[in-house]
């Protein structure tokens, strides 16, 4: 943990003149499942064991029940749930309001636990890479170093996707010696640099199934998965539609050209590996439902917003075969109407019923369709509309949905890409629908576009508490000024 501790102590001493002891009480994140730094830097067995847990630690953090995933999915109006758990009701209420960033807030853990856990992953990753570069005698040094780089990339990247700023560090220590943080753009650029270093090490390296239990039918390689993750993080990191012009679309094409060619699956053993968000609580009967925004996309005769005074809607019909195969009709409501009937929906996502009944099975973390839609979007922004349409039409829109091929028209192709993201793979990776709605200026007015540094961390630095949402922050950069409604 020394890199994060040093970084935070520098910030505390130089910026805020508080003691190291006071500062570390809340922001130093102990990881009791792993050895301390003295052992790690001298023991290749301990280091290898820690490297083997990095992917699981990252995965379980971003798919954790207590994290921001479920809250962000309901903020995006792709899922809906009025239950108060993990801030879902508070942050999907209408009109939208600011995130309560006070340390005393009951759902502060939704960002605080995520924040701390990812910095813990980063700390372990930094220690592993440092040991590898010092010549620690590993049985497979390239594998260990690659895994450390992946841990750096994924932890920093997923902090950048969610928060407004990130404290950067790597095997050499804090990047900013004065303890200052980087904004989410700089943080993502740093994460992608580490990812590219990991990709360069990935040739000929086999990740043990004890480290990453890929599904039995997986034909994509780990290197392909890393490339696809690069595309996901690049495209998902923008805060509004204007920023799409800043994306290096050539690099997105390069990532996707080398990305997954089949659904990248992970075997869930329901002990070490399992997915609580979004694949459990947002699809389990009695919990989350599919927002009518999505159902209306498949059936325009179904309202996109729950009509006032109604409790039941007739079953929808669609030319898209996935309405029947992936979504289940519900003829009653179980949400509290006093919390807003806008939470109501007549559908739930049933394509994951096999998972929530079997539990020990393969699940998709990165679908081939997701990779294809990043590729199609990149070609669209490169003004190659015909290629973008060809990619969309070769994918799940036609093969699973049975829909007519989209015409080579820029607006129609953009709509088709958005459609696939909401209908086909919104329940695979963490908060994909939020990132999509944010990128397209479709989050309801007042919805935070990212979260502040958690209040407990600000209190420990110390730094003045701040937040985003409602009218707090910079309009269009910190909170949405538009929205699909």
Q: In the chain, where are the structural domains located?
A: 2-208+445-460, 289-351
| Residues 137-161 pLDDT 10s | 999 999 999 999 999 999 999 999 9
Residue 25 has pLDDT above 50, yes or no: no
**In 10 A of CB 30, how many CB atoms?**
10
Judging by beta carbons within 10 Å of its beta carbon (0-12, 13-18, 19+), is residue 286 exposed, middle or buried?
exposed
Helix (H, G, I), strand (E, B) or coil at 251: helix
Residue 178 pLDDT level (bands cut at 50, 70, 90): confident
Are 159 and 237 spatial neighbours (Cβ–Cβ below 8 Å)? no
Q: Please check the confidence at residue 169 and state whether its pLDDT lies above 70.
A: yes
Are the CB atoms for 230 and 202 separated by under 8 Å? no
pLDDT in tens, 433-449: 999 999 999 999 999 99
CA distances from 146 to 33, 61, 80, 223 (A): 21, 20, 39, 11
What pLDDT does residue 177 have?
83
Q: What's residue 228's pLDDT?
A: 98
Q: What is the pLDDT of residue 7?
A: 44
- Structure tokens, 151: 């841990």
Residue with tokens 């690049």, as numbered in its chain: 234
Closest among 424, 123, 378 to 256, alpha carbons compared: 378
Q: How many Cβ atoms are within 10 Å of 43's Cβ, its own excluded?
A: 15
Q: Residue 302: which region, alpha, beta or left (left: phi > 0; alpha: psi -120 to 50)?
A: beta
Q: Is the pLDDT of residue 259 over 70?
A: yes
Helical H runs in 28-87?
37-40, 44-62, 69-75
Beta-carbon contacts of 202 under 8 Å, excluding residues fewer than 6 positions away, are: 146, 222, 223, 226
C-alpha 138 chain-centroid distance: 32
On whether the CB atoms of residues 59 and 363 are closer than 8 A, the answer is: no
pLDDT at site 459:
97
- Per-residue pLDDT band for 179 (boundaries 50, 70, 90) equals confident
Contact 129, 138 (CB under 8 A): no
Respond yes or no on whether the N-terminal peptide bond of residue 462 is cis (omega within 30° of 0): yes
Q: For 339-378, what is each residue's pLDDT tens digit?
A: 999 999 999 999 999 999 999 999 999 999 999 999 999 9
pTM listed for this prediction: 0.92
Better pLDDT: 28 or 1: 28
Whether cis (ω within 30° of 0) applies to the bond prior to 65 is no
* Span 79-84, average pLDDT: 98
Percent of the chain with pLDDT over 70: 91
Query: What's the mean pLDDT when you consider all of the chain?
Result: 93
* Mean per-residue pLDDT, 308-313: 96
Q: Give per-residue pLDDT as tens, 408-426.
A: 999 999 999 999 999 999 9
How far separated are the first and last CA of the chain, in Å rounded?
45
pLDDT bin (cut points 50, 70, 90) of residue 35 is low
Residue 27 has pLDDT above 70, yes or no: no
Neighbours of 383 (CB within 10 A): 10
Q: Write down the pLDDT at residue 23.
A: 32
Name the band, by pLDDT with cuts 50, 70 and 90, for residue 31: low
The answer to whether 258 touches 221, Cβ cutoff 8 Å, is no
In this predicted model, what pLDDT tens digit does every residue of 217-256 receive, in sequence order?
999 999 999 999 999 999 999 999 999 999 999 999 999 9
Of residues 370 and 28, the one with the higher pLDDT is 370
How confident is residue 136, by pLDDT bands cut at 50, 70 and 90?
Answer: very high
CATH number of 2-208+445-460: 1.25.40
pLDDT at site 204: 85
Range list of β-strands (E), 278-346: 289-290, 327-329
What mean pLDDT do residues 175-195 have? 96
Confidence of residue 10 (pLDDT cuts 50, 70, 90): very low
Query: How far, in Å, are 271, 311, 313, 370, 443 from residue 308 at the CA level?
Result: 43, 9, 11, 35, 21
Give the number of other Cβ atoms within 10 Å of residue 59's Cβ: 19
| Residue whose C-alpha is closest to residue 393's, from 372, 379, 421, 424 | 372
**Distance between CA atoms of 430 and 364, rounded to whole angstroms?**
12
């Amino acid at each position: 943990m020394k890199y994060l501790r040093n970084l935070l102590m520098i910030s505390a001493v130089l910026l805020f003149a508080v003691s190291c002891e006071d500062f570390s009480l809340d922001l130093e994140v102990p990881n009791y499942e792993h050895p301390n730094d003295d052992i790690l830097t001298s023991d290749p067995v301990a280091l290898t064991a820690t490297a083997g847990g990095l992917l699981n630690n990252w995965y379980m953090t971003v798919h954790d029940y207590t994290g921001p995933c479920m809250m962000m999915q309901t903020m995006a109006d792709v899922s809906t749930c009025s239950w108060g758990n993990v801030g879902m009701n508070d942050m999907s209420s209408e009109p939208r309001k600011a995130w309560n960033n006070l340390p005393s807030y009951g759902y502060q853990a939704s960002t605080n636990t995520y924040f701390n856990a990812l910095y813990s992953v980063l700390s372990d990753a930094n220690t592993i890479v440092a040991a590898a570069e010092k010549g620690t005698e590993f049985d497979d040094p390239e594998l260990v170093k690659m895994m450390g780089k992946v841990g750096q990339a994924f932890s920093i990247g997923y902090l950048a996707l969610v928060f407004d700023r990130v404290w950067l560090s790597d095997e050499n220590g804090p990047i900013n010696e004065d303890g200052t943080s980087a904004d989410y753009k700089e943080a993502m650029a740093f994460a992608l640099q580490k990812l590219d270093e990991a990709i360069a090490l990935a040739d000929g390296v086999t990740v043990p199934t004890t480290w990453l239990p890929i599904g039995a039918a997986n034909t994509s390689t780990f290197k392909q998965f890393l490339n696809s993750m690069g595309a996901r993080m690049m495209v998902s990191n923008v805060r509004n539609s204007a920023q799409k012009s800043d994306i290096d679309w050539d690099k997105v094409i390069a990532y996707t050209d080398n990305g997954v060619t089949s659904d990248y699956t992970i075997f869930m053993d329901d002990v070490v590996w399992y997915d609580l968000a979004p694949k459990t609580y947002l699809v389990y009967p009695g919990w989350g439902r599919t927002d009518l925004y999505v159902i209306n996309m498949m059936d325009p005769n179904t309202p996109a917003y729950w009509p006032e005074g109604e409790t039941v809607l007739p079953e929808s019909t669609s030319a898209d075969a996935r309405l029947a195969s992936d979504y289940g009709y519900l003829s009653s409501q179980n949400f509290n109407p006093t919390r807003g009937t806008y939470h109501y929906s007549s559908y739930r996502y049933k394509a994951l019923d096999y998972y929530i009944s079997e539990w020990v099975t393969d699940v998709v973390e990165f679908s081939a369709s997701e990779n294809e839609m990043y590729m199609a979007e990149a070609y669209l922004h490169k003004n190659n509309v015909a290629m973008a349409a060809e990619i969309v039409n070769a994918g799940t829109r036609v093969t699973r949905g049975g829909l007519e091929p989209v015409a080579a028209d820029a607006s129609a192709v953009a709509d088709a890409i958005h459609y696939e993201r909401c209908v086909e793979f919104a329940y695979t990776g963490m908060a994909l629908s939020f990132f999509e709605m944010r990128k397209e200026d479709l989050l309801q007015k007042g919805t935070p576009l990212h979260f502040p540094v958690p209040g407990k961390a600000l209190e420990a630095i110390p730094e003045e508490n701040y937040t985003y949402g409602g009218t707090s922050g910079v309009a269009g950069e910190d909170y949405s000024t538009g929205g699909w409604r």
